[in-house]
Chain A
């Protein structure tokens, strides 16, 4: 139309003609052009008026979009519309979320429900497994195994949980229930796959119909004795795995991935399936990857007896060794305690063991040996024992003897021993020491009495062994005998002092001797004179006359047999004899 108008537009060209013809021409022009002019005005108003334009586009917009889609350029259309649609949805949600929520509810509900159900179910499955493993006999066995192998219990449980074998996998056409593929593990007895696939489809349909579940949901698994059948549903195909034992939840993921792969690869063949299973032969390689078998327990159980025997033998060895070692240790400690209690001055009141530590208690005399050094010498581990010994005075003979020796400091040649409370002193000691011995010995702990029968006074012995010699027929001392007499006098003084301190009366006999020459009567006289002469000297030197008893024995008590001149000379002498007697109670 606009083209026509343009073509006709140059027609009224000769406008500068005379008036009359102008008028006629104008009329003619009006007649010819006016309808088209009106149309031009009409068209221009349609173009220029936005409201009219909107009206025009609205009447064809739906058809235009449809046409564009049919032309096969849907992608460009989607690209053009997507931002607007997205913005629109966003705006719609901002204004009133309920509208979109209501619209999406039928889709979202089942999707969310299925997701939650899946999650809960796998949680429950693992919880059930954990309970079963921790409470059953098998669980106990696994705990022992965990202890034995040093692995954590969780690892052991995991190891055994993975015990399963996928025996068969079916690929089933969803619509017809026909078997598209079927793989089996080695040496598994199987039914005809067509029958199984058909029955599985029938069961699926029965379940869907009977429980009027939404389309998305269907039978996921079945359990028959030790077998489980896991079913995974796709839009066109179904995968069913027959599993002996318990597969982990992860395995379902593997099923899903395999199914998705098959649906993708064979989507055309699945959609147009007319009963020819030829194109699906290659799908069996995917199915074979699903035939998972875990032999872990078998290898473990095959090893177990040897491990167990070795571990058992080791355990028995260790236990036996430990028992004998501890018996031996106990024996050693008892021996030590027994030997300790045999030590003089040590009394063990108790000993025992607590927490691998020995505690030995008792009393110990300060003079007794030190138990700690005994322990060190014994070869036992001194760190394993506590020794608690309280000090005390022991009445053991050895200790009392030692104590007396320590306190009395006896001179060389004197020994002190204790025999059941009686302190036995033996040897030769000076009067001075003897004096203090008699004073102190009874005060010593453990000394009940003193036995001095074997104790000799050294001065007294010296005095009694003194021989004062005389010339033939004379009662005057040989020259040179003065020193001997002086020493005898000193000894006599000490003896008297000792007797005083020990409440005794000392009587000293001065015995005169002669040799066998001459007549006996004159010899007797001579011996009397000799004894008297010495007594006189001693009295003169301060010895009381009363303690001295001079007497002559003539030749009756010769000191030596007179076989030589020297022996004869020895018999011309004076000797001393001391007699100690307790002081009479009378004054």
Chain B
């Protein structure tokens, strides 16, 4: 059995927890989340013929009061970088965070997730603004934890990316 540690990264209130809940439909312990800022979930996905257990570390979003603990990321195989496009700042913070992670841990598979696509009218971000990423091999996926759109895809794309990268 193959297991992979995946982290949910992104600013405060971008919908990381909602995405995980949508994906997994189970909650480990609500109290831990508020106490120590991490909630761990699990989901088995199939990549090709192989089954992979994704252990999801839903890490408390960064804000002015709380910096993310890089130690939580240790040993992860990939991460979802979640952005709330209705708040432009979350994209800038996310990209800065990605740079920090890359610096600290080297190249690791990741997916940029634009959440809340059900409220696309409120978006402050033009898709063209992140054009370079879309053009490159870096995956960008639009999701909605509310409707479920793109959620499965985001996780399975990440799983594929992890397995195919060394």
Which one of A192, A205, A274, A276 contacts B74 once the chains associate, using CB atoms below 8 Å? A205
Q: Does B84 contact A (CB under 8 A)?
A: no
Residues of B within 8 A of A208 (CB): 71
Residues 348-382 of chain A, each 1 if its beta carbon lies under 8 Å from chain B, else 0: 00000000000000000000000000000000000
**Alpha-carbon separation in the docked complex, A274 to B77 (Å):** 8
Which one of B3, B29, B72, B77 contacts A194 once the chains associate, using CB atoms below 8 Å? B3
A206 and B69 within 8 A (CB): yes
Chain A residue nearest in CB terms to B28: A195
Q: A206-B37, A275-B4, A278-B1 are in contact. Are A195 and B75 (CB under 8 A)?
A: no
B74 and A209 within 8 A (CB): no
Chain A: minimal CB distance from B45 (Å): 13
B69 and A209 within 8 A (CB): yes
Residues of B within 8 A of A276 (CB): 1-3
**Alpha-carbon separation in the docked complex, A208 to B71 (Å):** 9
Residues of A within 8 A of B4 (CB): 178, 275
Chain B: minimal CB distance from A211 (Å): 12
**Alpha-carbon separation in the docked complex, A224 to B4 (Å):** 29
Interface hits, A150-208 → B, CB 8 Å: 173, 175-179, 192, 194-195, 198-199, 202-203, 205-206, 208
A199 and B32 within 8 A (CB): yes
Q: Does B13 contact A (CB under 8 A)?
A: no
Residues 271-292 of chain A, each 1 if its beta carbon lies under 8 Å from chain B, else 0: 0001111100000000000000
Q: A199-B32, A203-B36 are in contact. Are A176 and B72 (CB under 8 A)?
A: no
Interface hits, B28-64 → A, CB 8 Å: 28-29, 32, 36-38, 40-42, 52-53, 55, 57
Residues of A within 8 A of B1 (CB): 276-278
Which one of A176, A194, A274 contacts B76 once the chains associate, using CB atoms below 8 Å? A176
Residues of B within 8 A of A202 (CB): 32, 36, 38, 40, 57, 72
Which one of A194, A209, A275 contacts B42 once the chains associate, using CB atoms below 8 Å? A194
Q: Does B5 contact A (CB under 8 A)?
A: yes
Which one of B37, B40, B72, B74 contacts A195 once the chains associate, using CB atoms below 8 Å? B40
Chain B residue nearest in CB terms to A176: B75
Which one of B3, B28, B57 contacts A275 once the chains associate, using CB atoms below 8 Å? B3
Chain B: minimal CB distance from A285 (Å): 18
Chain A: minimal CB distance from B28 (Å): 5
Chain B: minimal CB distance from A224 (Å): 12
Residues of B within 8 A of A173 (CB): 75
**Alpha-carbon separation in the docked complex, A394 to B67 (Å):** 114
Chain B residue nearest in CB terms to A200: B40
Chain A: minimal CB distance from B159 (Å): 11
Chain B: minimal CB distance from A54 (Å): 45
Chain B: minimal CB distance from A278 (Å): 7
Interface hits, B5-29 → A, CB 8 Å: 5, 28-29
Residues of A within 8 A of B57 (CB): 177, 198, 202
Residues of A within 8 A of B69 (CB): 205-206, 209
Q: A194-B53, A198-B55 are in contact. Are A175 and B74 (CB under 8 A)?
A: yes
A179 and B36 within 8 A (CB): no
Interface hits, A236-284 → B, CB 8 Å: 274-278
Residues of A within 8 A of B5 (CB): 176-178, 198, 275
Q: Which of A173, A205, A209 has the largest count of B CB atoms less than 10 A from its CB?
A: A205
B53 and A176 within 8 A (CB): no
Chain A residue nearest in CB terms to B29: A199
A206 and B38 within 8 A (CB): yes
Chain B: minimal CB distance from A153 (Å): 42
Q: A178-B3, A206-B69 are in contact. Are A194 and B36 (CB under 8 A)?
A: no
**Alpha-carbon separation in the docked complex, A195 to B4 (Å):** 12
Residues of A within 8 A of B40 (CB): 177, 194-195, 198-199, 202
Chain A: minimal CB distance from B132 (Å): 31
Residues of A within 8 A of B71 (CB): 205, 208-209
**Alpha-carbon separation in the docked complex, A276 to B69 (Å):** 26
**Alpha-carbon separation in the docked complex, A192 to B76 (Å):** 19
Chain A residue nearest in CB terms to B1: A277
Chain A residue nearest in CB terms to B52: A275
**Alpha-carbon separation in the docked complex, A208 to B52 (Å):** 30
Residues of A within 8 A of B72 (CB): 202, 205
Chain A: minimal CB distance from B56 (Å): 9
**Alpha-carbon separation in the docked complex, A278 to B41 (Å):** 21
Q: Which of A195, A208, A278 has the largest count of B CB atoms less than 10 A from its CB?
A: A195
Residues of A within 8 A of B74 (CB): 175-177, 205
A275 and B38 within 8 A (CB): no
**Alpha-carbon separation in the docked complex, A208 to B57 (Å):** 18
B42 and A192 within 8 A (CB): yes
**Alpha-carbon separation in the docked complex, A175 to B75 (Å):** 5
Chain B: minimal CB distance from A44 (Å): 56
Residues of B within 8 A of A275 (CB): 2-5, 52, 77
**Alpha-carbon separation in the docked complex, A173 to B37 (Å):** 21
**Alpha-carbon separation in the docked complex, A175 to B77 (Å):** 11
Q: A195-B28, A205-B74 are in contact. Are A178 and B36 (CB under 8 A)?
A: no
Chain B residue nearest in CB terms to A198: B40
**Alpha-carbon separation in the docked complex, A173 to B38 (Å):** 18
**Alpha-carbon separation in the docked complex, A173 to B3 (Å):** 11
**Alpha-carbon separation in the docked complex, A203 to B40 (Å):** 11
**Alpha-carbon separation in the docked complex, A178 to B28 (Å):** 16
Q: A194-B42, A202-B38, A202-B40 are in contact. Are A179 and B3 (CB under 8 A)?
A: yes
B36 and A195 within 8 A (CB): no
**Alpha-carbon separation in the docked complex, A208 to B69 (Å):** 11
Interface residues of B (CB under 8 A from A): 1-5, 28-29, 32, 36-38, 40-42, 52-53, 55, 57, 69, 71-72, 74-77
What are 18 A-to-B residue pairs whose CB atoms are below 8 Å? Answer: A176-B75, A176-B76, A177-B40, A178-B55, A194-B3, A194-B40, A195-B41, A195-B42, A198-B5, A198-B40, A198-B55, A202-B32, A202-B57, A205-B69, A275-B4, A277-B2, A277-B3, A278-B1
A-B contact sample (9 more), CB < 8 A, given A177-B40, A178-B4, A275-B52: A173-B75, A175-B75, A178-B55, A194-B3, A198-B5, A198-B42, A205-B71, A206-B36, A209-B69
